[in-house]
Chain A
Amino acid sequence: MSKAVLSISGLHATVEGKEILKGVDLEVAQGEIHALMGPNGSGKSTLAYTLMGHPKYVVTGGSATFDGEDLLPLTADARARLGLFLCFQYPTAIPGVSTVNFLRAALRAQGKEMPAREFLNRLSTEMQALKIDESFRARYINDGFSGGEKKRAEILQLAMLRPKLAILDETDSGLDVDALRTVADGVMRLCGPDMGVLVITHYPRILEHLHPDRVHVLHDGRVVTSGGADLAREIEREGYEPILGTAAAATA
């Protein structure tokens, strides 16, 4: 296994005083695709927000490093500049800030500025690949976008910013079959030795497109089992119960 880009050990976190993460252990190697599954309320989105540094999520124990650097003392912007990216399940609208201006500010902040012509060419190419209409350049970020448009706009940002690791927080939810394929193809096109993915999902369907190297199951704030792509199929067939039953027995 190559070098870990993300390394989480014994991570505990609370939201508004309630403990949600109760000792998460997880490693994602450079360029790998990992899936994080688990029933509702198991802490998947909390893990995503905690890793990204949302101020509402308070780490109470454990560690998380990114590319060997301690993530936890850093603010969200510093984490992003290290190469961490979060595709939001519910992206925020920012009226008045156009997609173009926003992307330029983000690229500048990350030291990835490029000449205007090159930027616009790349933006055009990525928008075409994601089947996003040209008019979205000037539209205010996520403002009045449909659910599917928001998800595609997130992947567009991913494509322009090229992080080392992208966390996709239920990016597949609310997408129809065609949109799911467009989004998944978009992600696969970007994946490679330079970019890994941690995809959080309820549904194995997106994993049929993404072919994860590893699948982890989160339950009650801990990773209770990990496996290969087969694990996702097993969950689709039989649900979480048999796995969680075994895991509960194993930890007992």
Chain B
Amino acid sequence: MPSSQRDEDWRRTDISSLHPDRFTPIEVADPAVVDAMRAQRDSADPKAAFVIDSPTPTPVEGADTLLAQGIILTTLEEAAMVHPELVQRALSSVRVDESKFTALWNALWRGGVFVYVPRGVEALVPVWVAHPAGGEDRATFPSTVVVLDEGAALTVIDAYASPSGPAALFSDAMVILSAGRDARLDYNTVQQWGEGVWHVALQRAVLDANAKLRFMGVTLGARLQKVWWEVLLDGIGSEADILGICFGDGTQHFDHQSLQAHVGAETRSNLLLKVAVRDHARSVYGGMIDVAPTAVHADGYVANRNLLLSQGAKADSIPRLEIRANDVKCGHGATAGHIDSDQRFYLMTRGVPPEEASSLIVRGFMDDVLDRVPHRGFAELAGALLEAEIAGGSVAGVTAGAQ
């Protein structure tokens, strides 16, 4: 296992008390969690097809429109058998031995979700993927693989949830997004694991020429998470807008690592991650823009803004640039600070009590990101979950059986 003493990548994220062998893989999706996740889909986008990632096959819901368009929507297991060339194409961007966690995922994943949108097809409704988990001392290996052929367009919501509470779970997730020439992919993901969950995820997108990715990540749950948000801008003129919000409290630990790898010429990427941490929560962020010699006229920006809501909360931010091409435009920015006392006073002079003034400022800090998310239903869901987190102390995880 990686060590915070030996491995630079893990220096600020200590997983010495994570023992994967203690966890046994989940066999059946927790129905109460599935219901709570379905209710979220119903409120945010009732027309979206609903797919459950489960080791035991479960029927896809509300997918008639998509299937009629020739879109493939099935388990990754089945896709690997029926459409091996498509699955192979997507998986070729990940090496099994990249890390202990990718190797573990490769050995133990089951079920999984696979979406393929054929050439020139614009999906009429989004795909809502639910990765539920439940129980105690269980491991889950969530998998989402999305392949967009030339000129295809799709919106995906990728949700991770388990019941709120301290139950220890281990999630080792893999997301592979492959966008062909001129394809457009809107990918939105929300992580709301319960407070006892260890979450490790690799979420990687590969973009062909002129493909456009809009990525939105919402991080709220888990005891500890380390995720990699990676975009490989391989094709000429490909573009990625990567947004993220993260709110944590208690002793939650969040580690986001991002990579904007510019390979093709004229590629553009922009990443903005906003984090607010309260109590003794901690955030670690490492972001890299890597510009290959081939990526002439690349335009990349990475920014991480942190709001510290308590004296004990902490945020480290290390954005980096690695530029090996000429004539590029790249930049980075990182900030960390407390709630602005002038802003708070200003709100109070209009009658707003101090705690509510702080909440409004935190919401505003995040709404600045949420307002840019194209899928309004998802943005509103994220806003509501965030609101509950801000107001209610630690409510990570879904309230199973609610609604």
Contact = CB atoms under 8 A, between A and B. Distances in A.
Interface string B315-353: 000000000000000000000000011110111111111
Interface in B84-131: none
| Interface residue SS majority, chain A | mixed
Contacts of A110: 350-351
Interface residues on A, range: 20 to 34
Given A86-B349, A157-B350, A77 B368 contact: no
Interface residues of B, number: 25
A140 B351 contact: no
Given A92-B343, A97-B361, A109 B368 contact: no
Contacts of A101: 360
B338 to A, nearest CB: 15
A176 B190 CA distance: 49
A92 B342 CA distance: 7
Contacts of B348: 53, 75-77, 80
A96 B350 contact: no
| Interface residue SS majority, chain B | helix
Contacts of B347: 94, 102, 105-106
Interface string A63-90: 0000000000001110111000110100
Nearest to B369: A96
Nearest to A52: B349
Contacts of A161: 350-351
B243 to A, nearest CB: 13
A92 B364 contact: no
Nearest to B353: A77
B5 to A, nearest CB: 40
Interface string B341-378: 11101111111111011001101111110010000000
Interface of B: 340-343, 345-354, 356-357, 360-361, 363-368, 371
Which 5 pairs across A and B sit closest by C-beta, in order of nearness?
A96-B364, A97-B364, A80-B351, A106-B350, A96-B368
5 contacts: A75-B348, A88-B346, A96-B361, A97-B360, A97-B367
